[in-house]
Amino acid sequence: MLAATARLEFLSWLAAERRASPLTVEAYAADLAEFLGFVTRHTGAEPDLPALAGLRAADFRAWLANGATEGRGNATRARHFSAVRTFFRWLARRHGVGNPQVRLLATPRAKRPLPRALTPQDARAVSEEIGDVSDSAADQARDAALFTLLYGCGLRIAEALALDVADAPREGSDAPLRVVGKGRKERIVPVLPVVRQAVSGWLRHHPSPDPTAPLFLGVRGKRLDAAVAQKKLRDFRRLAGLPEHATPHALRHSFATHLLAGGADLRSIQELLGHASLSTTQRYTSVDTDRLMEVWRKTHPRG
């Protein structure tokens, strides 16, 4: 049986038995047609099932490299490889045609997107004006404290919402904030006076003096849900005309990006963010380089 015939049979199986959506079937059809077309050019003949079973790891690597040469990114090539792997699994079950090489090769890894920070002005506006979307004075104080904390200390939203009253940084104290991050790893974060002021303002409205009570509360007196905080910022960014990437996590990105622009070293930023690997923190150097290039293009007389 020719591979092209098996491809059509596979697509019919995908639609009828797997009940895949028409768009999924269309994507698999295009991906497999591209793969089989490459194999035909690469080997000099239209492949049949024994030919597919005999493909070497070098043949699959040549196909992936060809995709990169034609400008396909890692994410696209990973999707194509996933389609080919699924096709070969089906061939092994339906026709007894296996090829172990397709299971041994690593899937191309998509590049992680660069962090998207806010401008210092926009980040400051979030913490100073977020209360505009809240009706009560208590909610205004809570939201101002939460978003000032996110930007001022570079916390993840989950880390901030996990804090209890006993953890709260207060005015009149110079104690750092102890944060429990990913993997239950604890780190120490210094706290700016403006953060202490905002949190102390919220504590004056906090309904429970119990040190074990959640620092940030929702309407039912339970720990504030992250989805509620995200909606608050989503409503505010539309009101204030901020970019769509203005999210709670963007404030953490802004914290790191603005520290780097101010001269902080990567090791210090890594410790403040709680990154296990310095390579994760190094992504911010690309962000800062992009920002500098944009400034150069806008301001240089010959830009």
Kindly list the catalytic residues: 156, 182, 249, 252, 275, 284
Contact 241, 121 (CB under 8 A): no
Which residue in the block uniquely carries the two structure tokens 């990154």?
275
DSSP 116-182: -PPPHHHHHHHHHHGGGG-SSHHHHHHHHHHHHHHHHHT--HHHHHT-BGGG---TT--PPEEEE-G
Pairing of strands 186-189, 177-180: antiparallel
* 188 phi/psi in degrees, rounded to 5: -110, 130
Kindly compute the dihedral angle of the four CA atoms of residues 262, 268, 272, 278, in this order, to the nearest 10 degrees: 110
Which residue in the block uniquely carries the two structure tokens 């996110």?
150
Contact 86, 259 (CB under 8 A): no
Which amino acid, 100?
P
Q: Is 14 left (phi over 0), alpha (psi -120 to 50) or beta?
A: alpha
Contact 155, 109 (CB under 8 A): no
* 262 phi/psi in degrees, rounded to 5: -85, 0
**Distance (Å, rounded) from C-alpha 159 to C-alpha 250?**
14
**Distance (Å, rounded) from C-alpha 260 to C-alpha 267?**
11
Can you tell me whether residue 223 is helix, strand or coil? Answer: strand
